[in-house]
Amino acid sequence: MALKILTVFGTRPEAIKMFPLVHALRGDSRFVSRVCVTGQHRGMLDQVLAIAGVAPDHDLNVMQPDQSLDALTARLLTGIGQVLDAERPDWVVVQGDTATAMCGALAAYYRKIPVAHVEAGLRSGNIHHPWPEEINRKIIGTMARLHCAPTETAADALKRENTDPAAIHVTGNTVIDALHWVTAQIREKPELAAGLTELEARFAGKRIIGVTSHRRENFGDGMQGIARAIRQIAARDDVALIFPVHLNPHVQSVMEAELAGLDNVALIAPLDYPHFARLIDIATLMLTDSGGVQEEAPALGKPVLVMRETTERPEGVEAGTARLVGTDSDRIVAETFRLLDDSDAYAAMARAHNPFGDGHSAHRIVELLATG
């Protein structure tokens, strides 16, 4: 009998890291694949579903403007619970550390349905950075039956927490599968990533810096520091910054207020995945507080300055392709200028480096699900 697998996801990064698994499951007769999206993100989730050709079986559509963590959690837990009661899957698969992932695991646990955790074992060691993700992933880790760790470092973190070693498997991170897939799509159909042409022409001759920022723990002082840094970097006439702004109103209001109207700063809507891959490709470096971008930029040989105090992805820092720079504007500016002005420093960071996966993670996870 085919195993029924329910994948549950709701935000942009989960969708990007889950679509390779959904693709692998739907082509495999050992499984019946069901997809539940929570709609924790709406527009940014739908961008990924459209590109990846994923049609959800359930869409809980939970997003509300400026949602609070507790109300979001309540909507997610009851909504996912109802889907589980209707579907009674053999496995629930969640990814990462969002509210959707935590509630997906908890709702499954309440029904004694086994949980597989994709991207298991990431730890910063600080429950306030990133917030609330560090706690979400620890909670999921306590309930999961199968832990798909992206790296040996992540697997070791789980072992240190006394997780059953037989349940931990190093699979690589499915983000590299997703990146390979989208790169192949763009190669076949360049028009998929042609929407940046106008900006590329406007900024011809300048070095492009790609920027993203959205972390809740950076709201307030952290985000102000990031915005101030971008303003100072933009004072140079040899650079241009392309910043697809996250739809969270706390991010939009700060960035609009601080950066609108600067000639060489393009504040643009979130890019779909092919266009974001193109942005990394044309960028000299990336400035980000994102988790996923810390994994993708090194894979594409681009230095990444991580605007956070801690990271749960030390592999990029250890390899020298990522550097933690915090949210103090002077530090961000100094580190950015160093990369722009010191070609040796730049060359040392701009090496293609792929500690996060080989592009075959989804198939490894599928085999683990098949053998239980």
Which residues would be at the binding site for ligand UDP (CB under 6 A)? 12-13, 16, 212, 214, 244, 270-271, 273, 276, 290-293, 296
C-beta of residue 20 within 8 angstroms of C-beta of residue 116: no
Question: Closest Cα partner for 139 from 97, 201, 176, 80?
Answer: 97
Q: How far is CA 86 from the centre of its chain?
A: 29
C-beta of residue 355 within 8 angstroms of C-beta of residue 13: no
Helix (H, G, I), strand (E, B) or coil at 8: strand
Binding-site member from 67, 185, 224, 232 for ligand UD1 (CB under 6 A): 67
- Choose among ligand UDP, ligand UD1, none what residue 81 binds, the Cβ cut-off being 5 to 8 Å by kind: none
Query: Which range in 16-24, 35-43, 77-85, 234-242 contacts ligand UD1 by CB under 6 A?
Result: 35-43
- Choose among ligand UD1, ligand UDP, none what residue 312 binds, the Cβ cut-off being 5 to 8 Å by kind: none
Catalytic residue among 216, 231, 323, 338: 216
Catalytic residue among 14, 59, 97, 134: 97
Binding-site member from 6, 7, 9, 11 for ligand UD1 (CB under 6 A): 11
Q: Does 99 bind ligand UD1 (CB under 6 A)?
A: yes
Tokens for 24?
Answer: 């692998």
Q: Which residue type is seen at 345?
A: A
Q: Is 214 among the residues known to form the active site?
A: yes
Tokens for 26?
Answer: 């739907």
Q: Is 97 among the residues known to form the active site?
A: yes
DSSP for 25-70 reads HHT-TTEEEEEEE--SSSHHHHHHHHHHT---SEE-----TT--HH
Distance of alpha carbon 310 from alpha carbon 273, whole angstroms: 26
| Torsion sign, CA atoms 356, 326, 235, 216 | positive
Catalytic residue among 34, 117, 215, 246: 246
Closer CB to ligand UDP, residue 84 or residue 101? 101
Catalytic residue among 59, 133, 296, 315: 133
For the chain, how many helices (H) and strands (E)? 16, 13
Q: Does 63 bind ligand UD1 (CB under 6 A)?
A: yes
* 177 backbone dihedrals φ, ψ, rounded to 5°: -55, -45
Q: Is 207 among the residues known to form the active site?
A: no
Contact set for ligand UD1, span 193-232 (CB under 6 A): 214, 216
Tokens for 262?
Answer: 């600067």
Closer CB to ligand UD1, residue 284 or residue 294? 294
Catalytic residue among 214, 228, 278, 364: 214
Contact set for ligand UD1, span 290-349 (CB under 6 A): none
Q: Does 247 bind ligand UD1 (CB under 6 A)?
A: yes
Q: Does 98 bind ligand UD1 (CB under 6 A)?
A: yes
Q: How far is CA 262 from the centre of its chain?
A: 28
C-beta of residue 21 within 8 angstroms of C-beta of residue 43: no
In the complex, which residues of this chain contact ligand UD1 (CB under 6 A)?
A: 11-13, 40-44, 63-67, 69, 72, 97-99, 132-133, 214, 216, 247-249
Catalytic residue positions, numbered: 97, 119, 133, 214, 216, 246
